[in-house]
Chains A and B, each alone.
Chain A
Amino acid sequence: MTSLKRWTLHEMATRAARDIPEGAYTNLGIGLPTEVANYLDTDKEVFLHSENGILGMGPAPPKGQEDPDLINAGKQPVTLLTGGAYFHHGDSFTMMRGGHLDICVLGAFQVSAAGDLANWHTGAADAIPSVGGAMDLAIGAKQVFVMMELLNKQGEAKLVERCTYPITALRCVSRVYTDYAIFNLADGVATVTELADGVDVDFLRSLIFLPLRQATG
Chain B
Amino acid sequence: MQAGLADVFDGATIMIGGFGTAGIPNELIEALIERGCSNLTVVNNNAGNGEAGVAALLAAGRVRKIICSFPRQADSHHFDRLYREGRVELELVPQGNLAARIQAAGAGLGAIYTPTGFGTLLAKGKETREIEGRGYVLEYPIHADFALIKAQRADRWGNLTYYKAARNFGPIMATAARCTIAQVQEIVPLGALDPEAIVTPGIFVQRVIALTRAASAAA
B96 touches A88 (CB 8 A): no
Q: Is A90 an interface residue (CB 8 A)?
A: yes
Interface of B is mostly: mixed
A35 to chain B, nearest CB (A): 18
B114 touches A97 (CB 8 A): yes
Q: Is B144 an interface residue (CB 8 A)?
A: no
Task: Please give, as numbers and ranges, the residues of chain A lying within 8 Å of B114 by CB-CB distance.
Answer: 97
Q: Is B141 an interface residue (CB 8 A)?
A: no
Task: Please give, as numbers and ranges, the residues of chain A lying within 8 Å of B80 by CB-CB distance.
Answer: 128
Interface string of A61-83 (1 = CB under 8 A from B): 00000011111000100001000
Interface string of B94-108 (1 = CB under 8 A from A): 111111101100000
Partner of A69, one of B84, B122, B164, B199: B164
Q: Which residue from chain A places its CB closest to the CB of B95 in the assembled complex?
A: A133
Report Cα–Cα, A88/B96, bound state, in Å.
12
Given contacts A52-B165, A130-B72, A131-B92, contact A139 B118 (CB under 8 A): yes
A70 touches B165 (CB 8 A): yes
B70 touches A86 (CB 8 A): no
- The interface on chain A, measured as residues whose beta carbon lies within 8 A of the other chain's beta carbons, has a size of 39
Given contacts A80-B164, A96-B96, A128-B83, contact A167 B119 (CB under 8 A): yes
B83 touches A93 (CB 8 A): no
Given contacts A90-B171, A130-B92, contact A69 B166 (CB under 8 A): yes
Report Cα–Cα, A121/B80, bound state, in Å.
15
A130 touches B70 (CB 8 A): yes
Q: Is A132 an interface residue (CB 8 A)?
A: yes
B20 to chain A, nearest CB (A): 4
A108 to chain B, nearest CB (A): 14
A73 to chain B, nearest CB (A): 8
Q: Is B146 an interface residue (CB 8 A)?
A: no
A88 touches B22 (CB 8 A): no
Q: Is B115 an interface residue (CB 8 A)?
A: yes
A59 to chain B, nearest CB (A): 15
Given contacts A75-B20, A88-B171, A166-B120, contact A136 B165 (CB under 8 A): no
Interface residues in A138-180 by Cβ distance below 8 A to B read 139-140, 166-170
Q: Which residue from chain A places its CB closest to the CB of B107 in the assembled complex?
A: A90
B118 touches A53 (CB 8 A): no
Report Cα–Cα, A51/B22, bound state, in Å.
13
Task: Please give, as numbers and ranges, the residues of chain A lying within 8 Å of B118 by CB-CB distance.
Answer: 139, 169-170
B21 touches A68 (CB 8 A): yes
Report Cα–Cα, A146/B163, bound state, in Å.
33
Where the two chains meet, the residues of B that have a C-beta atom closer than 8 Å to any C-beta of A are 19-23, 49, 69-73, 79-80, 83-84, 90, 92-100, 102-103, 114-122, 162-172, 199
Instruction: List 28 A-B pairs, Cβ < 8 Å.
Output: A53-B165, A53-B167, A69-B23, A71-B21, A75-B21, A75-B49, A86-B162, A88-B167, A90-B99, A90-B103, A92-B168, A97-B96, A97-B100, A128-B79, A130-B69, A130-B72, A131-B69, A131-B92, A132-B70, A133-B96, A135-B96, A136-B94, A166-B120, A166-B121, A167-B120, A169-B118, A169-B120, A170-B118
Q: Which 5 A-B pairs have the closest CB atoms?
A: A136-B96, A93-B96, A75-B20, A69-B166, A68-B21
